[in-house]
Amino acid sequence: PTLVLVSLNLQSVTDVGAKKESLIFAGVSVNKNFQLHSPLPPNGLCHDFFCLINKPPGEVWPLDVDRIVNKRTLKMDSERSMLGCLLAKLHQIDPDVYLGHDLNFELLLLQLLHLKVPHWSRIGRLKRSNPVTKQNKMLDIRAALAGRLLCDVKISAMELIRARSYDLPSLGSKILGMKEDQIATLTGPEMKQLFASSEGLQSFVNWGMQHCVLNTRLTIQLQVIPLAVQITAIVGNTLARTLLGGLSELNEYLLLHAFTSQDYIVPDKFKPFTNKSLKKQPVEGEEEEKGNKSGPSYSGGLVLAPKKGFYDDYIVLMDFNSLYPSIIQEYNVCFTTHVTDGESSKNILVKDGRRGILPEEIRKLVEMRKQVKGLMKGSNVSPDQMRQYDIRQKALQLTANSLYGCLGFRLSRFYAKNLAAYITGKGRDILLKTKDQVEKMGFEVIYADTDSLMINSRTQDIQQVFQIGNKIKSEINRTYRLLELEIDGVFRNGDTVSYLRTDGKAHHLTELGKPVEIKKNQDDGTDEEEVKQLTPDPIYYLANQVHPLVSRICDPIPGLDPTRIADFLGLDSSSYKRRRVVEENEDKFLGHQ
């Protein structure tokens, strides 16, 4: 079926006098024919759009504000009238899905109730007269939106991609290839300033509507809704809950169906104590947990300290595919196959040939993904079919890789610290064993982290590098039934590294200091340049930014100490000599040789 998508952008400013937030802008773009299995909407991203603007508290409209007012840009007399108009238009559009980035629906609902806007329940599809609240008397946004889906692009992006930031400019840059300066961000005071003129107000409207369209583009590009539909079909929950995010709940539903179908009694959902004076007492035979709410009370993945040095040969990065899910299958880890010895609190595998529910569910997901990826390799696959297959295999991968998480999450219905600790313990053992095997084959492991290793190939022939990687892969994979080590990447040295490893490394460092020194001594007599007197101090730059970095990099090289590096960069090396003498004297005093 086709869906009606409404991209909503709400903007508010702080009303200092009333000490509350006040909504001043509501931008809406509508897609009336969104198809789940179509690569793009058949008639474009936007079929209709409009925006409502309300002046901030204490501000006045520009004298020529009517220049920008039209049938798609409506000026409202008050916040209450703006919200009433928004509800009427949304009721007429009847959206299936609300889209937005970091949508603040709680503020919208609060203002609807506070200002006593009639028919406030039109924000959803169920007619209500009284506000819906949770047990803690907080407004229940999901209940208020009953009948409509809420899709927050920020929440979805945090689960689907890795980014340094999940604000709109960063997502637009990473996903859509836009420049970050093309997507402006405005603060409350900046929005107020734009109300000083009609030109500023027009730019504010354009900015708000641009965000509406960006929300739609990001949702389609990330395939958020089709992916959520596939995940919902796999785990057996509701689409509204899937779009809210949170892999823990998805795992819970999947395991609830699996254990119930095998006539197991599932545990109750954990509820933390609301009374702070009540503390859980450790049960006899159990150790009191020493972890905290923010982290587990057991050891995680193993990280080996990197071997510092310069490597002019190729470095091979190898990692285990889905390490923790693979361990669950390899060692048949499940509530039904592992029991706890009351005396030692250690896991004991029940060796009766029984296949556990947890590894069986992961096996099904892995097999289904292999089948889908096999279909993707077909010669007669259309672009639309390829897109559907890709969405499904991503959904299966996300679900399988996240199943381990429910074991170590304290608030999960299926929280099992002993199983989670057992799995991470096996992961550490496997990483150490793999490191030993690689070193026995004559190669050096220079770094290892949880499920991956960086190996010095000791060759500069790229073909030979892959032969070495495949040899290691074959040797390690023979040890296990289901664990698979793969080549994840090959790294080579950079130009700076190659310079530093040549005989002319001192010359290179000397040349590095010259451009800065030249800029320092340049005399530009133009009036324009004389105004720009505040320039970076080159000595400070070399001494505090370049020198420490180069010193750390060159630390493994014998004979290249900070004093010599200071000479090469044109710095006063006497202070570094004095510092070195002081450090040596301190070492002797403390008994270090």
Count of structural domains within the chain: 3
Asked, for residue 258, whether it belongs to a domain, the answer is no
Asked, for residue 406, whether it belongs to a domain, the answer is yes
Asked, for residue 292, whether it belongs to a domain, the answer is no
Spatial contact of 207 and 184, defined as CB atoms under 8 Å apart: yes
Asked, for residue 246, whether it belongs to a domain, the answer is no
Give yes or no: residues 442 and 563 share one domain.
Answer: no
Structure-token pair, residue 149: 């889906």
Q: How many CB atoms lie within 10 A of CB 38?
A: 15
DSSP string of 364-424? HHHHHHHHHHHHHT-TT--HHHHHHHHHHHHHHHHHHHHTTHHHH-TTSTT--HHHHHHHH
Give yes or no: residues 556 and 434 share one domain.
Answer: no
Give yes or no: residues 109 and 208 share one domain.
Answer: yes
**Which amino acid, one-letter code, is at 470?**
N
Spatial contact of 416 and 337, defined as CB atoms under 8 Å apart: no
The C-alpha atoms of residue 233 and residue 37 are separated, in whole angstroms, by: 15
The C-alpha atoms of residue 496 and residue 430 are separated, in whole angstroms, by: 35
- CATH code: domain of residue 432: 3.90.1600.10
The C-alpha atoms of residue 49 and residue 33 are separated, in whole angstroms, by: 14
Q: How many CB atoms lie within 10 A of CB 167?
A: 15
DSSP string of 241-252? HHHT--HHHHHH
Give yes or no: residues 548 and 430 share one domain.
Answer: no
Where do we find the tokens 């750390």?
Answer: 552
- CATH code: domain of residue 141: 3.30.420.10
**Which amino acid, one-letter code, is at 55?**
K
Q: How many helices (H) and strands (E) does the chain have?
A: 23, 13
Please list the pLDDT of the chain residue by residue as tens digits (593 residues). Answer: 789 999 999 999 988 877 888 999 999 999 988 887 665 665 567 788 999 999 998 889 998 888 999 989 999 999 999 999 999 999 999 999 999 998 888 899 999 999 999 999 999 999 888 877 766 566 788 888 889 999 999 999 988 888 888 999 999 998 888 887 888 888 889 999 999 999 999 999 999 999 999 999 999 888 899 888 988 988 999 999 899 877 778 888 999 999 999 999 988 876 665 444 444 444 333 344 444 544 556 777 888 888 887 788 899 999 998 899 999 999 999 988 877 665 555 666 666 677 889 999 999 998 988 898 888 888 788 877 787 788 888 888 888 888 888 888 888 888 888 888 899 999 999 999 999 999 999 999 999 998 999 999 988 888 999 999 999 999 999 999 999 999 988 888 653 333 333 344 444 555 555 555 444 444 444 445 554 555 667 888 888 888 888 887 777 776 677 888 888 888 877 777 656 554 555 454 445 44
Give yes or no: residues 349 and 435 share one domain.
Answer: yes
Spatial contact of 222 and 153, defined as CB atoms under 8 Å apart: yes
Last residue of a domain, one of 202, 222, 242: 222
Asked, for residue 483, whether it belongs to a domain, the answer is yes
Give yes or no: residues 364 and 478 share one domain.
Answer: yes
Predicted TM-score (pTM) of the model is: 0.72
Give yes or no: residues 354 and 399 share one domain.
Answer: yes
The C-alpha atoms of residue 195 and residue 56 are separated, in whole angstroms, by: 8
Residue 86 lies in domain:
2-222
Asked, for residue 562, whether it belongs to a domain, the answer is yes
**Which amino acid, one-letter code, is at 386?**
M
DSSP string of 352-366? SSPPPHHHHHHHHHH
The C-alpha atoms of residue 346 and residue 419 are separated, in whole angstroms, by: 10
| pLDDT at position 341 | 63
Enumerate the β-bridge partners of residue 8: 28
Give yes or no: residues 386 and 512 share one domain.
Answer: no
Spatial contact of 75 and 203, defined as CB atoms under 8 Å apart: no
207, 231, 339: which is closest to 285 by C-alpha?
A: 339
Round the CA-based radius of gyration of the chain to a whole number and report it: 31
Spatial contact of 128 and 96, defined as CB atoms under 8 Å apart: no
Q: How deeply is 271 buried, as exposed, middle or buried, from its count of CB atoms within 10 A (0-12, 13-18, 19+)?
A: exposed
Enumerate the β-bridge partners of residue 50: 28
Give yes or no: residues 505 and 555 share one domain.
Answer: yes
Asked, for residue 249, whether it belongs to a domain, the answer is no
The C-alpha atoms of residue 452 and residue 96 are separated, in whole angstroms, by: 44
Last residue of a domain, one of 438, 468, 491: 491
Chain mean position to CA 342 = 40
The C-alpha atoms of residue 164 and residue 145 are separated, in whole angstroms, by: 31
Last residue of a domain, one of 167, 194, 222: 222
DSSP string of 172-208? HHHHH---GGGS----HHHHHHHTTSHHHHHHHHHHH
Dihedral (CA of 455, 504, 560, 555) sign? negative
Give yes or no: residues 486 and 561 share one domain.
Answer: no
The C-alpha atoms of residue 537 and residue 484 are separated, in whole angstroms, by: 53
Spatial contact of 398 and 240, defined as CB atoms under 8 Å apart: no
Spatial contact of 115 and 20, defined as CB atoms under 8 Å apart: no
Spatial contact of 309 and 435, defined as CB atoms under 8 Å apart: no
Give yes or no: residues 465 and 356 share one domain.
Answer: yes
Q: Where are the beta strands (DSSP E) in 192-331?
A: 303-304, 315-320
By DSSP bridging, strand 97-100 and strand 149-152 are parallel
Give yes or no: residues 449 and 580 share one domain.
Answer: no
Asked, for residue 270, whether it belongs to a domain, the answer is no
**Over 199-217, what HEC string results?**
HHHHHHHHHHHHHHHHHHH
| pLDDT at position 346 | 65
The C-alpha atoms of residue 244 and residue 576 are separated, in whole angstroms, by: 57
